[in-house]
Structure 1
Amino acid sequence: MSIGIKRQLFDKKASLSLNANNILQSEAHYGIDRNLVLYQYSYFRDYSRYISLNFSCRFGPGKTNKVHIDSGSSDEQKRTGN
């Protein structure tokens, strides 16, 4: 089980998030290998928890300008009269 929370700061130009993973220490992995002479069962339980704190910030005006790329088709349409 994992849980997280995120908060916008500074008029949505920055964000702060807090995440916690494996909080109940319930993450487990099972595996069974079968062969002609071998039957193997494996079980792994991860007992590590971790918490992460992330901060991200955007600099600049925050708006991008659209760039118009001329493919040359407008010149071709003018030439043909369309």
Structure 2
Amino acid sequence: MAILHLMVGLPGSGKTTEAIRLEKEYHAIRFTPDEWHLKLFGNDFSGQWPDEVHDQRHSKVEQLMWETGKKMLA
């Protein structure tokens, strides 16, 4: 049976730290939006891009993560 852990919280609250712990404990696959974002678009967290561009990119990352997760759980 597959298990899905979803992490929600404020920036700096320890989501990634806990996700890394769970990844090791359960030999899991970790989906971290910031890591996907960096690989797909580079560092656009610097404010050099308008918020709407960053938001569109982040929405695309979330869409790809959900699609991949659904395939893994099917």
Which structure's residues are more often helix, by fraction?
2
Tell me the TM-score range normalised by the shorter chain: under 0.3
Query: What is the TM-score when the length of structure 1 is the normalising length?
Result: 0.21
